[in-house]
Amino acid sequence: MRKLFGTDGIRGVANEELTAEIAFKLGNALAQEFKDEIKEILIGKDTRASCDFLECALASGIASGGVNARLVGIITTPGLAMLTRLLNVPGVMISASHNPFQYNGLKVINRGFKISDEKEMMLENLMENPVFSSSSSVGRVKTDSSLVELYVKRVCDMYKDTDFSSVRIAVDTANGAAYRITKMIYQQLGIKHDAFFDQPNGFNINEGCGSTNPEGLKRILENGRYDFGVLFDGDSDRCLMLSNRGTLVDGDKLMALNAVEMKKGGELKGNTVVATIMSNMGMEKYLNTHGISVERTKVGDRYVLHRMLAKGYTLGGEQSGHIIFLNRTTTGDGIITSLETMKNLLRARKTLDDLQNEIPTFPQKLLNIQAKNKNEIVENERLKDVVRSYTQSNEVRIIIRPSGTEPLVRIMVEAENESLVEKILQNVGDIVRKMAKT
């Protein structure tokens, strides 16, 4: 069983749970694992202040193991993923995505893809016994910011034939990794835009902004100057949108509207969208009426991607806005999601508000409860019996799962009747709270 890696890399409060020692040992383990295959490992980071010391420690570990470390600088997680695929090398992204600045994380990417659970276990074992190269064969550390421009060029090349000149948008970059890259790409593609929350200071990433805090951009949209708003998270692997009326358009609805247009264009392989167990039933019913099937996986983009690769599907993602266009790239990329959606809105000749209104949303309530014993609670048989009693019919869905990155039990209740959803959520929440105190 993995001790350090969670659902999305190694993550924790910087300098408490995630230390320089851990970063060093991971770098050394990566050097051990890949030394015979490659000459360098890329390192990218978001805008958190703690990224700097973790970058230094990680690069030191890589170099001590006899492999070169190439520092890309501030870049989005999907940007780094694309670079590892283009250069055929591994990489590490230093980011805690949508979490507050106190947290940070180390995400290992190999040639465009997140590594497997088995590979993570292997790295944890190697971290227990660092191996140091001789003084004559240590690696070097090099800074190469030109790689950001390579990513920008690749994305712009994908959309060079689309005329975006009629679009005007407001963009919230979450004071995160996308704060410069988004402007570079949008400007080159001729997209009229104004960027907000684009002044990172090391401590304001995701603070009152970004995909988890849309209220700031919603207020900006009230002036009526924009067609819609785009929201990224700290490392820009997620994208949500706001209609010109300020209505939040989540990942489910973005997948649905893109899927319908992709099907029309013959781009939706298998006429299927891959979603997770958290995706709304309203989205699934809407897609079904357009001859599109939905396959569900466990929560986590890696499970979505695995299903897509196994069956050759081109579109999948999560309600959170982590959406994968496999005909474009190998991971969820918020900037690409925004561009695909803009392209398909232009193709449909409809507004974002028009399209999102076509897609029904079943009442769905979420509740997060602090619990250090989160895994024990989720596996509790009494709790499972309660869930089964509510879900005997197909009218109610309840998902209870441990957070992969925080000491939380996450509860989701969905049904067509909102009062029933609230009643069930309160009852199940009370049970979980009692278990969390024991």
Please give the CATH superfamily to which domain 5-146 belongs: Alpha-D-Glucose-1,6-Bisphosphate, subunit A, domain 3 (3.40.120.10)
Residues near 92 by beta carbon (within 8 Å), at least 6 away in sequence: 26, 27, 30, 41, 42, 43, 44, 58, 106, 107, 108, 109
Cβ atoms of 369 and 436 closer than 8 Å: yes
Scored b (16 or more CB within 10 A) or e, 373-410 reads ebeebbebeebeebbeebbeeeebbbbbbbbbbbebbb
Identical topology for domains 5-146 and 159-358: yes
Query: pLDDT value at position 55?
Result: 98
Residues near 394 by beta carbon (within 8 Å), at least 6 away in sequence: none
Instruction: Give backbone dihedrals phi and psi of 431, rounded to 5 degrees, phi first.
Output: -65, -45
The length of the chain, given as a count of residues: 438
Report d(CA 269, CA 263) in Å as an integer. 8
Helix (H) or strand (E) holding 74: strand 68-74
Q: What is the pLDDT of residues 379-403, one digit of tens each?
A: 999 999 999 999 887 678 899 999 8
Average pLDDT score over residue span 306-313: 97
Average pLDDT score over residue span 369-379: 91
Query: 240 forms bridges with which residues in the sheet?
Result: 231
Is 97 a catalytic site residue?
Answer: yes
User: pLDDT > 70: what percent of the chain?
Assistant: 99
CATH topology (fold) of 159-358? Alpha-D-Glucose-1,6-Bisphosphate; Chain A, domain 3 (3.40.120)
Q: pTM of the prediction?
A: 0.90
Query: 425 forms bridges with which residues in the sheet?
Result: none
Q: What is the pLDDT of residues 44-85, one digit of tens each?
A: 999 999 999 999 999 999 999 999 999 999 999 999 999 999
Query: pLDDT value at position 438?
Result: 65
* 406 has pLDDT over 90: no
Average pLDDT score over residue span 130-146: 94
Rounded to the nearest 10 degrees, the angle between the axes of helix 334-348 and helix 181-188 is 30
Q: Which of 50, 64, 95, 97 is catalytic?
A: 97
Domain map (residue ranges) of the chain: 5-146, 159-358, 364-437
> Which CATH architecture fits 364-437?
2-Layer Sandwich (3.30)
> pLDDT grade, residue 1 (50/70/90)?
low
Identify the three-state secondary structure at position 332: coil
Q: What is the pLDDT of residues 113-123, one digit of tens each?
A: 999 889 999 99
Report d(CA 249, CA 247) in Å as an integer. 6
| Tokens coding 434 | 């009692």
